[in-house]
A and B are shown apart, each in its own frame.
Chain A
Amino acid sequence: MTRDQESGARSQESASSFQLPASNRKHSLIGTSPQRIEGRAKVTGAATYVDDMQFGPNLLHGMLKHSPIPHGIIVRIDVSKARALPGVRVVVTGEDFPGYTGLYLKDRRIFALDRVRYVGDTIAAVAADTPEIAQQAVDLIEVEFEPLPGVFDPEFGASPEAPLIHPELGNYEAVPFIFPQPGTNVSNWMKVRKGDMDKGWAEADLVYEHKYRVPHIQHVPLETHVCVAQQDVNGKITLWSSSQSPFAQRNLIAKALHISHSKLRVITPYVGGGFGCKAGVSMEGAAVALAMNAKGRPVKLRMTREEEFYTTFVRQGLVAIIKMGMTQEGRITAVHNRFYWDGGASTEYGTNITRAAGYSGTGPYYVPNIHIDSLCVYTNHPVGGAMRGFGMPEIHWGIEQHIDQMAEKLGLDPVQVRLINCLKDGDETLTGMIMHPTGLSQCIQKAAEAIGWTSPPAPLLEGEGSHKRRGKGLAAMWKAPAMPPNPGSSAIVRMNEDGTATVSIGGVDIGQGALTAMAQLAAEGLGVKIEDVRVNTVDTDYSPYEWQTVASRLTWSMGNAVLQAAENAKLQILQTVAEAWNEDINDLDIIDGQVVSYRSEESRSLRDIAVYGMQRPDGTWIGGPVLGRGNFMPEYVTPLDPETGQGPRAVVHFTTGCQAVEVEVDEETGEVQVLKIVSAYDVGRAINPDMVRTQMEGGAVQGMSTALLEGIILQNGVPRNPNFTDYRIATAVDAPLELESIIVEVPQDDGPFGARGVGEHPMVPTAPAIANAVYNAVGIRIDSMPITSEKVWRELAKTRP
């Protein structure tokens, strides 16, 4: 079945008994690259972010009281001095809001009640007339602790000797696919068991085990978390929030505070970057709690850069122990992997990262015999949350270096080893799902070719006699959207009097270009020019439901809903015209905002039809304001067996890809310069190829930044580098000299025009590709991220006589 027939079938099921003929699909806008529709607002400073909104002199300034210790019992909280300070309007603590919240596991309170579990844990919040008074009030809150021993390493945390961080784990509410282990620090244990391990090891010519480490990193959106909350006279609360998840915030905060969903409205204007840290809820509940006591005054809560580094979300740390068997010919026979995730003080979100690591735990390879344990471990570290890649950059750091190590030990070419083992159409994945058509082999081949895998290295930048050495490295990847089995999308396309269309969606443009991609899909589905489509930012009172802006799912899932809504609007218009003109609907079409008849050659602008309707020959009217609707929710994902991780369909699909890099390593200083990164991804179908490339470029540099520079330094739970001087991210000087992005298109059967997501994937294989290139250059294997100059220099020093 072609993509066209299939999407026609979808319209038929959901919209009406009539199906638009396949010839109605021109694909004129799909695969083209119109400019970002909000570009002018962003380059002129006119784009409004939450902190730019004006709330008048009535605005109160919120501030949080954080725990200075990593683990301890709260013996006493005294807020009396803070309350007595002139200008302080609200002080709230855990006693006021004792409920639990969380996306996958309800293990987190808005304010710590009986104990604190990390440096930065929120104990209380204040709202005052000025930020200065709020700061004084926070300082006046007295908290007495009884310190407890901490857990600062996930392997230790999973052991029976470790002190318990959540003794109440057994009482927490969890979604059915998360498996907490009460009486331990393990909040999720994802198991994958397949085949016969003894047989797998026996068939191998080489069995090799190695341990890899990934530190905590921070997302570093340039806009820190910020929100404003206000309660009106009817008790209804409005939350203006810089969020990837306006609907999830409404859901989680309403439940935590025991208020009706219809009494909480979340508005999200432009968002200054997210990368996962603005998914779910972190500090927003505290702002709502303050507003509920602020007598109608709006309360702003904005994280400082220091707070952003460790009090909202971080990326979890990982210790990965990878054991692999391989034949002399390079075929993987068995994999035994243990992933110890440093989940932090709450794993409400992190538990599902652990799960994703489980069902993706072989990397993008066919492996017959598998034993994987992915353990989410509580530690007294900052709270782990979603970050671009959702566990995949972390596990691929080990897996993709391991493949290179195995290949070298067996004297094989790592590209050939990947091509032999990589998943192909119809292969069974580790969880028993049949792999859909995928361009993974193509991506590996194209990336290798573009980096000149088989050709000798180019001359050094500094010429002969230099202390620099060049190397090439490559890594492959896969990633599925990690989410519940039933995350929904919906869209509304409203026609305006002038024939333009307004698209309402619940997903957020966090910079990835969602507004523009949706405008393209709506324009294509309706038959209007892209300039005649407006796409709204989110207001949960007016926008249709969207689960979250995560998992690289919007183009695929929300795109389906938008395309369907546009086609639904088109169908309504054509039905009206067919009756008014007494024509067969199959002879009608909409082209650039004009309804045309191929039979009578009549034509009429949407301006005359879409709101006012049309007059029949007898003088009566039909039609009326056109309102197209669309929704999408995958209906085929199956549960997995809790003991084996096996099931027919673990996930909706996998986006696959490969990156190849060339580096120059300075043997005197250990400094690594990335010269070139080639990215090749199978995106199904690129709706906007240029924006797909911008995702690949930005992801590659973010991946490079984490590979070489980043890591939160935690000493006994205390973050030591929460600023941009001590936590460096890549600058324009660090960015590679050349980035090449290759789009591979093997269509997704249920994506709009075959599209699947690519937002997260470009940073997944970057770090191991760089590690492999560093090895190729100087023979040093750095198994612990980041690959700092210091580490490379130390390792090089060891090899010198």
Chain B
Amino acid sequence: MNHDIHLIVNGEAYLLSVPAHHTLLQVLREQLVLTGTKNGCEAGECGACAVLVKWPGADHAEPVNSCMVLAPEADGAEIVTIEGLAHDEQLDPLQEAFITTGATQCGFCTPGILVNARALLDRTPDPSETEIREALVGNLCRCTGYVRIIDAIEMAARAGREVAR
């Protein structure tokens, strides 16, 4: 059975007919062809599919593993995927920092980590190293050893604070 749902994804409004058993991850990747969001385990254990979701009535977005959300549940939500992190060719400071510090290797975990890190900096603009590590605990990375990812988030946080001043 299909459901009609309304989504706002990266600022664009969509009316979609989605099978009841499809996940938000499937809708993003297969129907909207926003393939930057990755499928790593389909069990909510690796964080590769993380996107920012602002649920109907909520006042801020939160990072969500999109493989764990059934598409009909997302009706009315505002979603930001990795494709929505940059604006008009201007990269998010986190994206710049990931390139500068060498925080991406194979790149498969990178979109989920960037989205999750954006949520962290939105709620905690000046996180401690421990806060960064704890925020990333649901994002697996097998290439980098995490240290440069932590460095990159610290660098982006500094850049964000400078902009704010």
Contacts and interface: CB of A to CB of B under 8 A. Distances in A.
A binds B: yes
Interface of A: 35-36, 38-49, 51-52, 54, 219-224, 270-275, 304-305, 510-513, 690-691, 694, 697-702, 723-725, 729-733, 735-736, 739
B164 interface: no
A701 B145 CA distance: 5
B140 A690 contact: no
Contacts of A732: 132-134, 136-137, 139, 141, 146, 149-150
B136 A304 contact: no
A512 B105 CA distance: 6
A724 B144 contact: no
Contacts of A691: 102
A44 B143 contact: no
A511 B145 contact: no
Contacts of B99: 35-36, 39-40, 43
Nearest to A724: B45
**Closest 8 pairs (CB-CB, A-B):** A45-B36, A272-B108, A511-B106, A701-B145, A42-B107, A511-B105, A45-B82, A52-B35
Given A273-B105, A725-B43, 14 more contacts: A36-B102, A43-B99, A44-B36, A44-B83, A44-B85, A45-B37, A45-B81, A221-B142, A222-B142, A305-B43, A694-B148, A701-B147, A732-B133, A735-B133
Contacts of A54: 33
B147 A735 contact: yes
Contacts of A733: 133-134, 136-137
Contacts of A690: 102
A456 B46 CA distance: 39
B42 to A, nearest CB: 7
B95 interface: yes
A513 B144 CA distance: 12
A729 B141 CA distance: 9
A273 B106 contact: yes
B95 A43 contact: yes
Interface string B99-114: 1101011111111001
Contacts of B40: 222-224, 305
B8 interface: no
Contacts of A723: 41, 43, 45
26 contacts: A43-B110, A44-B36, A44-B83, A44-B91, A46-B36, A49-B35, A51-B35, A51-B39, A52-B35, A220-B140, A221-B142, A223-B38, A223-B40, A223-B108, A272-B107, A272-B108, A273-B105, A273-B106, A273-B143, A304-B42, A305-B43, A697-B145, A701-B147, A724-B46, A725-B45, A733-B137
A726 to B, nearest CB: 10
Most buried by B among A221, A223, A224, A270: A223
Interface string B2-45: 00000000000000000000000000010001111111111101
Contacts of A305: 40-43, 45-46
A275 to B, nearest CB: 7
Interface of B: 29, 33-43, 45-46, 48, 81-83, 85-86, 91, 95, 98-100, 102, 104-111, 114, 132-134, 136-150
Contacts of A275: 142
A54 B33 CA distance: 8
A47 B110 CA distance: 11
A701 to B, nearest CB: 3
Nearest to A702: B142
A700 B108 contact: no
B21 to A, nearest CB: 8
Contacts of B36: 44-46
B34 to A, nearest CB: 8
B83 A45 contact: yes
A45 B34 CA distance: 8
Contacts of B95: 43-44
B110 A49 contact: no
A660 B36 CA distance: 38
B106 A222 contact: yes
A442 B109 CA distance: 36
A510 B142 CA distance: 12
Contacts of B82: 44-45
Contacts of B35: 45, 48-49, 51-52
Contacts of A220: 140, 142
A701 B140 CA distance: 12
A588 B116 CA distance: 53
Contacts of B108: 49, 221-223, 272-273
A731 B38 CA distance: 18
B35 to A, nearest CB: 4
Given A305-B40, A724-B41, A739 B107 contact: no
A47 B147 CA distance: 23
Given A35-B102, A45-B35, A222-B38, A735 B146 contact: yes
